[in-house]
A and B are shown apart, each in its own frame.
Chain A
Amino acid sequence: MPRPTPSQTVGPFYGYALPFPAGGSPAPAAHPGAVTVHGVVRDGAGVPVPDALLEFWQAAPDGSLTGHPGSLRRDPVTGGFLGRDGVHFTGFARVPTDADGHWTLRTLGPPAATPYLSVCLFARGLMHHLYTRVYLAEPPADALLDALPADRRATLLAGGEGEGVYHFDIHLQGEKETVFLDFDR
């Protein structure tokens, strides 16, 4: 069985290569079910991380996990980007943090069967990406959450900030360290 190719850090210079227009807005335009999730990525000293890259993957509201192409639609005329088509939900988002370590995602709420947004986090200084999850609401039962002590569980629960707006900080290290996941790859 072949061994996997090792991970290497995304480094500081991915910014002109990986982000794309509307990368953080997978919710189709003017969709009434759109929610906003935002937060700050912090390091072990509590300092915002201005060069992290977050990717999100989730089920569509109907529960399907097939995804859809078109996250980074390209313009074959100019070689630039067209943005999303405004109709299809691709299930995928990619957002770099800004100079304050802040990110914003505008997506559709996940279905009850998989009630979370999967997060894959990259950053300069991080050798190997990290997975976590954002739960917008505490589900009645959840294998992952139920197995965690209360203080650790809280790191995966977004805070409500009014209708359709949620707050979710990620702490790479320290007292508030976010729960990161291993999928036994």
Chain B
Amino acid sequence: MSHASLTPQRKSSEPAAPTPQLPAPQPVVPTQREISAEISAAHARAAEAVTAGAAPLDHPPRNFAPYRSSVLRHPRQPLVRVEDPEAAELHGPVFGVTDVTDLDADLTRQHLGEPLGERITVSGRITDRAGRPVRGQLVEVWQANASGRYAHQRDQHPAPLDPHFTGVGRCLTDDQGGYRFTTIKPGAYPWRNHDNAWRPAHIHFSLFGTAFTQRLVTQMYFPGDPLFPYDPILQSVTEPAARERLVASYDHALSVPEWSLGYRWNIVLDGPAATLPDPEEGS
């Protein structure tokens, strides 16, 4: 097929067509099918790289186009390696009793009444990659309410706000690296990444280690959520085993009789390499 048949040439004697006054073009909203195909392709590329000998990725690549907001918000230059044992980043901020009140870990007691929804306990241990507990460090959480609505002005989707639920909590880890929150199970909610896009229910976590390099912000998911395969944010983690580490497990022993259902989620922070010899190297 010649190009001419695709792009008809106007004869020079024809008058130019007047420019039609059309409304501004609407951005093309991808379908779930298109996004899912992009996710599958990205996962296949990641699996091929591992087969070819690359180390499996623990973290999502920053350029994961199925999550459209990432396209203009990731660097194209490679990161610059810092190997300075005196780097300030190998130390980090500390927090203490001044920074947390006892009630902060119970998200169901921040208002006069009880929030609506399924009351849950979320608990686990935070360790570094050597299995050492992260002690006395700040854990922060935030989440949507049971209807899937955030107490945030920018979230205007038509689900009710709950006057008895804000969805913010924090605590300090104990001597074993343990944390524990009482909250309600958040709802799934729609977003505008693509047509009919829904986020699986999740709780946002923010974590500190002993070094600034161990900083982690992530999301905890609930087991068995049927929305997992459709979600480009969870699926941005291309390694299946790594994705599973974002999903809590139901723990019946953690459920409180006639009170709350228990979910356990353990968290492992990165290195840091400067204080952690990697046992997989040089032995």
Contact of B241 among A3, A73, A148 (CB under 8 A): A3
A residues in contact with B241, CB < 8 Å: 3
Interface size in chain A (residues, C-beta < 8 A): 77
* Interface residues as binary, A155-170 with B (CB distance below 8 Å gives 1, 0 otherwise): 0000000000000000
Q: A104 on the interface (CB 8 Å rule)? A: no
Asked if B79 is at the interface (CB within 8 A of a chain A CB), the reply is: yes
The total number of A-B Cβ pairs within 8 Å is: 260
CB-CB under 8 A for A1 and B58, given A57-B212, A74-B99, A183-B273? no
Please tell me if A95 contacts chain B, counting CB pairs below 8 Å: no
The yes or no answer to B237 lying at the interface (CB within 8 A) is: yes
Which residues of chain B have C-beta atoms less than 8 A from A18's C-beta? 140, 142, 206
- Name the residue on B nearest A20 (C-beta): B99
Q: Chain A CB within 10 Å — which of B60, B72, B245, B273 has the most?
A: B72
Q: Which of B53-104 contact A (CB under 8 A)?
A: 58-62, 64, 67, 69-77, 79-84, 86-104
- Which of B58, B77, B82 meets A3, CB within 8 Å? B58
Q: Is the CB of A8 within 8 A of B84?
A: no
Does chain B have a CB within 8 A of A120? yes
Interface assignment of A59: CB less than 8 Å from any CB of chain B: yes
CB distance from A34 to the nearest CB of B (A): 19
Q: Which 4 A-B pairs have the closest CB atoms?
A: A125-B69, A69-B96, A17-B142, A92-B93
A: residues with CB less than 8 A from B are 1-18, 43-45, 47, 49, 55, 57-59, 65-76, 79, 85, 90-92, 110, 113-114, 116, 118, 120, 122-131, 143-144, 147-148, 152, 172-174, 177-185
Additional pairs, 4, CB under 8 Å, beyond known A4-B270, A5-B216, A6-B60: A1-B129, A74-B101, A79-B110, A181-B81
